[in-house]
Structure 1
């Protein structure tokens, strides 16, 4: 037999549960993430079903790259300030982000050549080659090239962001300065130079890294940093490789929409080595 008191208690519990589900006066999950704006940012221009895949693939990649820029910028600052534990956590996160980006290419690879051909005319000259965030990542990792500023000249705000990364010391530049601060000789020309110029490998820099790698216990933090940089370049190579493979699978050797040679251009990028002495020392140890 249910009493009126039991009913009142039950009704009170029901009302309390309903109140927990009412987000009309508090911030909801969608509010916090601004999902209305994020999920309404996909605007296919063609009638092709597969264009939604193409848009979502690139938008999510840009979101991951936004986080990568955030982490790289902070990691460079931490290395400059000798805050290596913080830098190591950030650099490890960058490597994991790249793994996400590598995996994403397998989704885009489900787009077949006829499916891409159906939407390609609607892309005009837009291309991932024009990604300002990707260019910042390349510059922060040390692949400096003044010609890569030009694709952003039409947007002063983007040009300012990319140019700042181009003019600043890269992650590797700051790593070499850190080695010198720890009493290991690094050629003076690598501690103060024109940071906008492409990095050129040096026997003297390799000798500095060899000092670290021949006695890891004595130089543990620097050794750890070298391995974090190796992790990043390893992941970055995989990202580039999956990119070129996916592009070749979908469009073959057609020119890219942004005016590049497409696969031929991407294959050249596979030969870029970001941290050359860290790879060479493995042979010379």
Structure 2
């Protein structure tokens, strides 16, 4: 239930703000500013542009009118705004993640590793940001979510085209996950392109081969639409790198960037599971999945298996 509050016109609020600014500090707020203090405050705005009637402003550059008017709750519930903003901001972070990952894959394929490392480090930090975003959604209690759930229909996060592209670029390929986007040919084309392309890990393996490390032929020219399967030959290649890091420093750093990335991705998925369990328990997901049970199975997926397995043998 929303708290009752008084509404006044925009013109009235603006007039009050202007008058308050002209009048100085309100009574009872402390001593009035002295002359030097007023001068210091004024100096802090000296040279700043305050009139944007003929120039691009901060809001214009960021298209804030469009962004901040894109929240349209369907229920009368106060807490639905949290649910919408949580997912919209996550999609914005995923847009940046895809921007960085696509460039990183291209850089690895072109042997421009310093640039790729910078981009992959940024992706890991974005995932950390997404992990903490679940802390905010976790403030929604089960009764609060239950009140808005009927209004969500069959919409579900697993239908996110951007998230699916991220998973495909990380190597977790699944043709069945193309179907949720069949109603949108534009989105389907983007998801399918990621499904058909070599993943980030595929490009890292091909990089090792170009640097003279023996890699099994089947790992270099395989069906990119299939999920990656662990290979003893690929593990042996990575072991060669990790046993002589000074000789293969860039490949060694590539391996660690990938481990950082998967580590952050695992935390993101784990925090997703615990938040969903906290809010809805073991109810089925709105998209028809088994909910927490489905998400827990995803925790078992290992994206870069040889990079984790080799640690036992070092």
TM-score bracket relative to the smaller structure? over 0.9
Q: Secondary structure at the match of 1:20?
A: coil
2:54 maps to which residue? Answer: 25
In the TM superposition, residue 233 of structure 1 has moved relative to its aligned partner by 0.3
In the TM superposition, residue 26 of structure 1 has moved relative to its aligned partner by 0.9
- The equivalences for 1:201-220 within 5 A come to 201-220=230-249
2:302 maps to which residue? Answer: 273
- The equivalences for 1:140-151 within 5 A come to 140-151=169-180
2-structure distance, mates of 1:19, 1:243: 44
Indicate the structure with greater helix content.
1
- The equivalences for 1:100-249 within 5 A come to 100-249=129-278
Cα RMSD (Å)? 1.5
2-structure distance, mates of 1:94, 1:19: 35
In the TM superposition, residue 20 of structure 1 has moved relative to its aligned partner by 2.0
Name the TM-score, length of structure 1 as normaliser.
Answer: 0.94
Q: Secondary structure at the match of 1:22?
A: coil
Give 1 or 2 for the bigger CA radius of gyration.
2
2-structure distance, mates of 1:20, 1:94: 35
1:3 maps to which residue? Answer: none
1:78 maps to which residue? Answer: 107
In the TM superposition, residue 18 of structure 1 has moved relative to its aligned partner by 8.8
Aligned pairs, how many? 273
1:50 maps to which residue? Answer: 79
Unaligned segments of structure 2, at least 5 residues: 1-41
1:208-238 deviation per Cα after TM superposition (whole angstroms, max 9, x unaligned): 0000000000000000000000000000000
In the TM superposition, residue 84 of structure 1 has moved relative to its aligned partner by 0.1
- The equivalences for 1:241-260 within 5 A come to 241-260=270-289
Q: 1:96 aligns with which of 122, 125, 147?
A: 125
After TM superposition, the runs of 4+ consecutive aligned structure 1 residues lying more than 3 A away are 16-19
